[in-house]
Amino acid sequence: MIFLLIVNNEWLFEMSKSLVVKANNIIEASYQLTVNEQRLILAAISCIPKGEQVTDNTGYCVTRESFIELGVNPKTASREIKEACDRLFSRVITVSTEAGTFKTRWVQDIMRYNSDWALANPELIQELTGSDPYAEDYVLAAVRFSKSVLPFLSNLSANFTQYFLQDIAGLSSAYSIRLYELMMQFKSTGYRKIRLDELRNMLDLNNKYPLTADLKRWVIDTAIDELNEKSPITVSYNLLKTGRKFSHIELKFKPKEKNSDKTLKTAPNSVETIKPLTEPQIAKYSAILSKLGSISDLSNFPDYPTFANWLGNILRDPKNSNQETVKRVFKALRTETDYNSKT
């Protein structure tokens, strides 16, 4: 068994450029995962080389930093990735094909590297993941997809759906992620109609929420509200009846409009209103920011210089970092340093 840690060194800082690509069979498959299990799966999928033949001998790397980039609280990220690893191994997925329906596991194995091994190979870890093995709660896992599932995730040329991993960063409901994927399958039309019994099957609800009112309240409304708040699309829906019973959901969606220049100018703490920092400014303010208590929870680094280096990457290229983190860093820059008085 070979676990090859495949990680694009730019991924931790350029997650918005990482694509999740799935065959439509997987998009419409029946399965149930928690939101952290979804994050683990999607982070691993985004590392699969695009347009290349791959084998099931490869494990795709997921780190604590990758979970944080997906919106997980830095204080709990290590625990949550460990719990997701423990549960994911037993999760199954039911996939429909032309030949029939088959049930299989998502993964054949998950390797969670212990801290002793990481500390014994710090240069390798740093090179492959860009993360620090000396961190107190360092976590590194490698996911190896099952032989049955992998063909639906790699080297696809037709009948597939793709979206940027950054699109689902910050979503806290597994239902939100699934509905987003189901809509991205029809991205070109901005419209999708799904039978409610098919939706229940795809979400693997079994006998949960048998009443349409409960399905609407706990699944549909929860997901749509979160997607409208946190995703790059705006969504509306209608429940349609066949006879006297609700039978279908009709989804309409479109990309959110980008902020106008006028809006940007009136937002004093907006990242877009800050001029690009020079390298001397980045060096100065990243050192100052690394010692501020207001953003100290973002640090999982052994010392101030390492944390400052991480903050410097955000100041240098904010568009390619988690936007909630970026907002906090630039708010601290605006309100807790002399940056405003110098510009």
**Amino acid (1-letter code) at residue 51:** G
How far, in Å, CA of 146 to CA of 222, rounded? 31
**Of 222, 219, 224, 247, nearest in space to 237 by CA:** 224
Partnered with residue 145 across adjacent β-strands are 107
DSSP string, 20-50: EEEEHHHHT-EE---HHHHHHHHHHHTTSPT
**Looking at residue 306, what is its pLDDT?**
82
**Looking at residue 259, what is its pLDDT?**
53
**Tell me: the pLDDT tens digits for 30-87?**
999 999 999 999 999 988 887 777 888 888 888 887 888 888 888 888 889 889 999 9
DSSP string, 232-301: SEEEEEEEEEETTEEEEEEEEEEEPPPPPHHHHHT-TT-GGGSPPPPHHHHHHHHHHHTT-GGGGGG--S
**Amino acid (1-letter code) at residue 138:** Y
**Looking at residue 131, what is its pLDDT?**
59
**Tell me: the pLDDT tens digits for 300-321?**
667 778 888 888 888 888 877 7
**Of 301, 305, 296, 326, nearest in space to 314 by CA:** 326
Order across the sheet with 92-96: list the strands. Answer: 30-31, 92-96, 101-105
How far, in Å, CA of 99 to CA of 114, rounded? 42
Domains in the chain (CATH in brackets) are 15-168 (1.10.10.10), 174-255 (1.10.10.10), 261-342 (no CATH)
pTM of the model: 0.70
The 10 Å Cβ neighbour count of residue 237 is 18
Per-residue pLDDT of the chain (343 residues; tens, 9 = 90+): 334 444 333 322 233 347 899 999 999 999 999 999 999 999 999 888 877 778 888 888 888 878 888 888 888 888 898 899 999 999 999 999 999 999 999 999 888 776 666 677 777 666 655 556 555 556 678 899 999 999 999 888 889 999 999 899 989 999 999 999 999 999 999 999 999 999 999 999 988 999 999 999 999 999 999 999 999 999 999 999 999 999 999 999 999 886 544 333 334 444 555 678 888 888 888 888 888 877 877 776 677 788 888 888 888 888 777 788 888 888 888 888 887 655 5
**Looking at residue 340, what is its pLDDT?**
64
The CA R_g of the chain, rounded to the nearest whole Å, is 22
How far, in Å, CA of 288 to CA of 300, rounded? 17
**Of 284, 340, 338, 341, nearest in space to 315 by CA:** 284
**Looking at residue 262, what is its pLDDT?**
37
**Looking at residue 244, what is its pLDDT?**
92
**Looking at residue 62, what is its pLDDT?**
85
How far, in Å, CA of 162 to CA of 332, rounded? 35
How far, in Å, CA of 64 to CA of 81, rounded? 7
Crossing angle for the helix pair 323-336 and 304-316, to the nearest 10 degrees: 100
